Structure 1
C-alpha cells in the first residue's frame, strides 16, 4: 500500500457522496499505521479485541516498548483536537484491551499508551500527529 499517509484525501466517493463516519475511522486507522511504519514503528496487530473487552486500534512495537495506540480521525477540528474524544470511558476500554494483550506475554515489557490524531480534508494530504504517553495504566483497586 506504500505511504498511504502521503496520499491526498478523497472524502467523497465517485458519485460525490460524502463518506460515512465509519469509513473516516477505518481510513484513519490505515493512515495511522502507514505513518507509524514510516517512523520505524512495527505494527503487530490492528483492532485487537478479546471477547467482549475493549478494543485497541493498533498494537505496535517501537524498539523495546510495546505501544497501545488509539487512533482518532476527524474531518473537522471545530470541537477541538481529535484526541479530545478519548475520554475516561474510552481510556478504560483501551486499558482493558491492553491488559488482555499483556496477560499472554511471558515476561513483563515496558509499554505505553499513545494517541494518533488524523485530520482529513478533501484533496489535502492528511495531517497526522502522535501524542506519546497520552495516558497511563491505572492500577486495579
Structure 2
C-alpha cells in the first residue's frame, strides 16, 4: 500500500488509518465515540469505546490489505478476544453504575490499492 506520493505506508500507519475510518463509520451510524485506544491498568485493550444508543460498545478494529481467502475478522482470535475482554472489564470497573447493556463489536477495514476502502461493522461479534 502506498500514499499519494508513491511512498510505502508503514503497517502501523495502515492501522491508524483503519481506526480513523472505523470511527467515522461508527459516527455516521449514529454512535458517540467515548474513547479511543483504551489500555487497562492491568493489561487489556480496546480500540474504540462508543455508545450505540443505550448500549455501550467495545470495538475492535482490524485493518487488512485485500487478500484472497482471508478477512480482517479472522484476526480476532480467542487470545485477542481475551485481551479485549480484559480491557472492557477495566473500563467497566471505572464506572460507578454498570446496570446497562454492553457488547463487543468488530469493524473490518479492507484496503486495496486504487480502490475505495471497505468498512464493515460486525455487531455483537463475541
Question: In which range does the TM-score fall when normalised by the shorter chain?
Answer: over 0.9
- Displacement after TM superposition at 1:123 (Å): 2.6
Q: Are 1:58 and 2:55 an aligned pair?
A: no
Residue deviations 1:57-112 (CA, integer Å, cap 9, x gap): 00000111000000000112324110100001100000000000000112222100
* Rounded Cα–Cα distance in structure 1 between residues aligned with 2:64 and 2:42: 26
With normalisation by structure 2, the TM-score equals 0.93
Q: Is the 8 A contact 2:47 2:59 kept in 1?
A: yes
Does the residue aligned with 2:124 lie in a helix, a strand or coil? strand
Root mean square deviation, CA, Å: 1.3
Aligned length: 125
Q: Are 1:113 and 2:98 an aligned pair?
A: no
Unaligned runs of 5+ in 2: none
The residue that corresponds to 1:138 in the other structure is none
Q: Are 1:123 and 2:100 an aligned pair?
A: no
With normalisation by structure 1, the TM-score equals 0.83
The residue that corresponds to 1:86 in the other structure is 76
Unaligned runs of 5+ in 1: 1-10, 136-141
Map residues 11-30 of structure 1 onto 2, 5 A cutoff.
11-30=1-20
Structure 1 residue runs of 4 or more that deviate by more than 4 Å after TM superposition? none
Q: Is the 8 A contact 2:61 2:107 kept in 1?
A: yes
